[in-house]
Chain A
Amino acid sequence: MRYTWRPAAAGPFVAAAVATLLLIASLVWGGDDDAGFLNGRQLRLMAPAAPGGGWDQTAREMQAALRGEVGRTEVYNVAGAGGTIGLSQFVRHDGDATQLMVMGLVMVGAIKSNDSPVALDQTTPLARLLTDYEVIVVPADSPVKGMSDLVAAMKDDVGKVSWAGGSAGGIEQILAGLVADAVGADPAEVNYVAHSGGGEALSTLLSGRATAGVSGVSELVGQIKAGTIRPIAVSSPQRLPNLPDVPTLKEQGVDVELANWRGVVAPPGISADDERQLEDLLVRMTRTDAWRETLERRGWSDATLTGDQFEQYLAGERRTVTDVLVKMGLA
């Protein structure tokens, strides 16, 4: 019997009816499993980047840590252009307190360098959650022993020192520019070789063709411990607990501090009451065991900061980043 596509005339209609019943059933049973917060409505959390990156990781770790507080939350990705595509979509949820978005320093830079029509002051900043400091590394067999060697080389000819790091205008390039500025070299002359991610930059560094590499500490800790690359400085104010032997930039006479922080914002126009409730929720989340364990596992540092303090911090970061991007000729 040859198979042909001619089911009984009623078949498709029965199938459609069954499907509709299932759909209604899923709506009825799926709707009421979280209660209390925001009248039982589910929180939706946007990661304005592709799966796998820092914002996506932050959003998914938040999802896990929030489970005990508000039940199920939903994470979705809107990728593109340093998060500015996600941002422009996010600000349309005017007044909807169930919508949250992860953001961070990279977005502050991207808004400036992409000339984004939407800026962060069109959102309601809630909290800074964590920071991931940057580490400057050299290949294991490099003649560069510490920052002083690198600084000397940069003073000699800044173009001869090549830096491998993440995307153009991103946090790594900003750090390279800040270092050049601090040691009296021209930030616009920095020979920065951009890569689409820390992994790709690492492979260029391991091939021995770049002078130095810059990346988030959490991305490189494994390599550093294995001895394939040598750390020469971290960008934190104090030495980091997971790299206690690595001096900070300031210790080595380079007056630069840079934290790749990440935080959460809500849409514009939410009520003051909702804003306070959301901030409380995030602070409660940072105190959960799940979140503590996440920070340790990922090598992130706790940096909880809320309310007016966070808004002031945000304004300060915008000035620093704009300043260095302009000096580097990127904005």
Chain B
Amino acid sequence: MGDLLSGFADALTPGNLLWAFVGVTIGTAVGVLPGIGPALTVALLLPVTFRLEPAAALIMFAGIYYGGMYGGSTTSILLNTPGESASVATALEGNKMARAGRGAAALATAALGSFVAGTIGTIALSAAAPLVADIAVNFGPPEYVALMAVAFVTVSALLGPSLLKGAAGLVIGATIGLVGIDTQTGQTRLSFGLPSLFDGIDVVIVVVALFALGETFAHLIAGTGASRVEPLRGQPMLSREDFRRSWPAWLRGTALGFPIGSLPAGGADVPTFLSYSIEKRLSKRPEQFGRGAIEGVAGPEAANNAAAAGVLVPLLTIGLPTSATAAVILTAFQSYGLQPGPQLFSESGDLVWALIASLYIGNVLLLVLNLPLAKVWVRLLGIPAYGIYAGVLVFACLGAFAAGGTIADLIVLTVLGLLGLLMREAGVPVAPAVVGLILAPLAEQQLRRALALSEGDWSTLVSSPLTVALWILVVLALVAPPLLSWRRRRVSQTLEETSTTH
């Protein structure tokens, strides 16, 4: 505790606060741009921090990191163009809310949810990082296979109204995920001899193509280029009702995001999908999902930012970079003189505590910046669609080019954009495609790894208590929803009966 306080003392100078504010602002500003996800945001902005002394650099970095993680939600909500996979779930309900004129409420619940989740995540990071890391390292390939099974059975809520069309989206995404070199054997799959496809298609490019380009193309052929959305007037940003529905979702999202983010192969996207599904299952008004349910924004957005804190657990305690973003952060820590790994706290304790204090401060500043900004962002919708989507196109191309550095990436972007348009026209939801793209390759890799390590013995999949527990969850997830809806029907029947007797 005393360590943390001295960390705050290091971080809380007026000069450092200024750097934190600058970090949050540019992190959010760059993170907002569709196509420029958190990994690229952090990678691009890191050199800016190198010119500062370590404490100031760390605090600015914390602002950039949380700002970049948060920024994606704004365009998801307002324009239905998530800049990265972890914002896809936010777009589902958030954009429906924005179209109904409730964009400010969606942005506000996202900002507050990010703050709550980021703060709880940071507390968990400072209090329990070594403990969480001990559990996380027990996750080997068989455990991941079981976790992926849990994810697959729970994300059905994302599939939308038509099961066939939802499944079509899922399979299309999974097929895109096959493209590239197979990690186990080094052979290329579905690359047709094109070197640009050897490393697979970047998730950011797929997300931007399916959502942002698909949206642009849809406006183009519908001829709705001059339309704009009118925000509702004279309403509080977040009504009491909104708040009552949001806060449990924030907490549930955090509870999913932090632990899954802490897993070496967890990432920030899986918990957002799970959170969306759980909110839909638990909601008293499931019929609102698909037309702008605020829980569907609050939960995933909290999960996203809690995972952002969770990612730092394996990074700091075992020196394991678990994602592209984490690999970039690792480089950053090393250049600030932090050597992540088991001896981090004993060797560079002061800097670690300054970092953790910075994360708290970055989080507060993010809220201070974004809550008032929600009203300003909504005005962005006052720009006619032709201006917005021409700009989206410019940034999408910039992001695609920056991610891969080749012209071929732009061609891939265009082709996938056309696929996105066709899916949209056919009523096939694009969110499941992103789920398939992320989960399927992970599940395949881990399953094959598990079987290679056990020399083909399938019983390895239930070889530890952890795997058994996860498989029980899978069974529960399959059995519980029908039971729940049956009980709900019973309850509402009894309610109706009692009300008629009165």
Direct contact of A and B (CB under 8 A): yes
- Interface residues, chain A, CB within 8 Å of chain B? 2-5, 50-53, 56-57, 60, 76-81, 84-85, 88-89, 113-114, 116, 159-160, 162, 167-169, 191, 193-197, 199-200, 202-204, 206-210, 222-223, 225-226, 228, 297-298, 330
Stretch at the interface among B168-176, B333-341, B418-426: B333-341
- Complex Cα–Cα for A42 and B384 (A): 42
Q: Enumerate chain B residues within 8 angstroms of A194, measured Cβ to Cβ.
A: 183-184, 186
Give the shortest distance, in Å, between A118 (CB) and chain B (any CB).
Answer: 9
Apart from A160-B455, A209-B453: 18 A-B pairs, beta carbons within 8 A = A51-B324, A52-B328, A77-B405, A79-B403, A81-B181, A81-B199, A114-B188, A168-B186, A193-B449, A200-B265, A203-B314, A204-B140, A204-B141, A209-B141, A222-B341, A223-B319, A228-B342, A298-B334
- The minimal Cβ–Cβ distance linking A316 to chain B, given in whole angstroms, is 23
- Select from chain B the residue with minimum beta-carbon distance to A75: B47
A209, B186: Cβ atoms closer than 8 Å:
no
B340 neighbours in A (Cβ, 8 Å): 222
Chain A residue contacts of B321, Cβ below 8 A: 52, 197, 199
CB distance B195 to A207 under 8 Å?
no
For B128-153 the 0/1 string (1 means CB < 8 A from A) is 00000000011111110000000000
Within 8 Å of chain A (Cβ to Cβ): is B390?
no
What residues of chain A lie closer than 8 Å to B286, measured between beta carbons?
none
Across the interface, do B453 and A222 meet the contact criterion of CB distance under 8 Å?
A: no
Known interface pairs A167-B186, A196-B183; A209-B140 also in contact (CB < 8 Å): yes
A78 touches B328 (CB 8 A): no
Residue of A whose beta carbon sits closest to that of B344? A222
How many chain B residues sit at the interface, stated as a range, is 35 or more
| Contact between chains at B455 and A191 (CB < 8 Å) | yes
Q: Are B331 and A162 in contact (CB under 8 A)?
A: no
Smallest CB-CB separation from A118: which chain B residue? B195
Contact, CB under 8 Å: A226 / B342: yes
Across the interface, do B406 and A89 meet the contact criterion of CB distance under 8 Å?
yes
Among candidates A2, A80, A113, residue contacting B186 with C-beta atoms closer than 8 Å: A113
Residue in chain A with minimal CB distance to B230: A2
Q: What are 7 of the A-B contact pairs (CB < 8 Å)?
A: A51-B43, A51-B324, A51-B331, A159-B455, A168-B186, A193-B452, A200-B265
Q: Is the CB of B343 within 8 A of A225?
A: yes
Which of A52, A78, A297 counts the most B-chain CB atoms under 10 A from its CB? A52
- Check A223–B322 contact: CB distance below 8 A: no
> What 1/0 flags go to B401-439 for Cβ under 8 Å of A?
001111000000000000000000000000000000000
The reply to whether the CB of B382 lies closer than 8 angstroms to some CB of chain A is yes
> Which residues of B, 157-205, contact A by the 8 Å Cβ criterion?
181-186, 188, 195-196, 198-199
Whether A85 lies near B198 (C-beta < 8 A) is yes
- Report the minimal beta-carbon distance from B329 to chain A, rounded to whole angstroms: 9
C-alpha gap A50/B321 in the complex (Å): 14
Q: Is B127 an interface residue (CB 8 A)?
A: no
Residue pair A53, B327 in contact (C-beta under 8 Å): yes
CB-CB under 8 A from B455, the residues of chain A are 159-160, 191
Q: Which residue of A lies closest to B452 (CB)?
A: A193
* Contacting pair B383 A5 (CB below 8 A): yes
Q: Once the chains are docked, how many angstroms separate the CA of A13 from the CA of B351?
A: 49
Q: Are B264 and A200 in contact (CB under 8 A)?
A: yes
Closest to A206 in B: B137
Picked from A52, A162, A297, the residue with its CB within 8 Å of the CB of B324 is A52
CB–CB A203/B195 < 8 A: no
